[in-house]
Structure 1
Amino acid sequence: MEEMEKLHVLFYQKLGELFYAIAASDKIVRKAEYKALQQMVLLEWKNMDDYKDSFQEDAAYQIEIVFDWFEYDNLDANECFKSFTEFYKQNTSLFSKERKKLIWKTANVIANSFSGMNKSELIMLGRLKLLFS
């Protein structure tokens, strides 16, 4: 796999980390949040580009894989958000206007998927908005 493809696979893995951080911001990841993520990957992210992972699967599935793995390990949402922030700052060229728009949409869909947004999710979304501005 060439370097650019590896970077794009990492991009999708970092998105999984971000979306996990949004869902886990209130210390509980609900089934509805994971289902919302799966729908967004299937309906939106898969169509974003043609990058493949090392198994020749659409790299967008890395979003779900990382989200699932982080949930299993019960990682800290704030640490995950910090890690995503560092990646974003080091790779701003990967974050086109279109991609930022879809990231924002996905984050909101996840946050709204279980009886509306709570305070923790609103704070995390606010941090994401500041990062992107």
Structure 2
Amino acid sequence: MNTETHKILQFYQNLGKLFYAMSAIDNIVREEECKSVEELVKRHWLKLDFLDDNTKLEAEAAILETFKWLCRDKEYNAEDCYTSFVGFKRANPTFFTNEINSLILKTVGQISASFSGQNKSELILLAKLNIELKNV
């Protein structure tokens, strides 16, 4: 695996971490949130123009397998996953175009609203993420 492919895979794994962070920020990952993540990944993240068919399958697997692993393992909390995502974002700013940042915010907003609206913890994390994505 070349360096560029490895970085792309890490990008998608970090999206899985972020989606887990949003789902787990209230210390409970609900079934509705899991279903929402799967649907949103298929609906939005696999339709990006710059992905070929093979890369789309790898992207889907990287996001969802990371998310599911974190749900099963429960070793990492939401803050750890969010911090890991932010670290990746700061080290790899070229991945985070305006289009990607908008899609990230849209996705996490929909994840947080998937179970009876957004709670205080989710709103705080959304605000932190919004600020982070605006910092270049």
For residues 56-75 of structure 1, what are the structure 2 equivalents within 5 Å? 57-74=57-74, 75=76
Q: What residue number does 1:34 align with?
A: 34
- TM-score, normalised to structure 1, is 0.92
How many pairs does the alignment contain? 131
Q: Would you say the 8 A contact 1:9–1:52 is kept in 2?
A: no
**1:83 and 2:84 equivalent?**
yes
Once the two structures are TM-superposed, the CA of residue 61 in structure 1 deviates from its matched residue by 2.6
Once the two structures are TM-superposed, the CA of residue 59 in structure 1 deviates from its matched residue by 1.7
- TM-score, normalised to structure 2, is 0.90
Q: Would you say the 8 A contact 1:17–1:67 is kept in 2?
A: yes
In terms of fraction of residues, the more helix-rich structure is: 2
Equivalent-residue separation in structure 2 for 1:50 and 1:124 (angstroms): 32
Equivalent-residue separation in structure 2 for 1:60 and 1:98 (angstroms): 18
Root-mean-square deviation over aligned CA pairs:
1.5
Moved over 6 A (4+): none
**1:50 and 2:67 equivalent?**
no
Structure 1, unmatched stretches of 5+, are none
Show CA shifts across 1:43-70 (max 9, x none): 11112222756xx933233111101101
Equivalent-residue separation in structure 1 for 2:99 and 2:54 (angstroms): 20
Percent identical pairs in the alignment equals 38
Once the two structures are TM-superposed, the CA of residue 104 in structure 1 deviates from its matched residue by 0.5
Show CA shifts across 1:91-130 (max 9, x none): 0101111111111111001000000000111111111011
Structure 2, unmatched stretches of 5+, are none
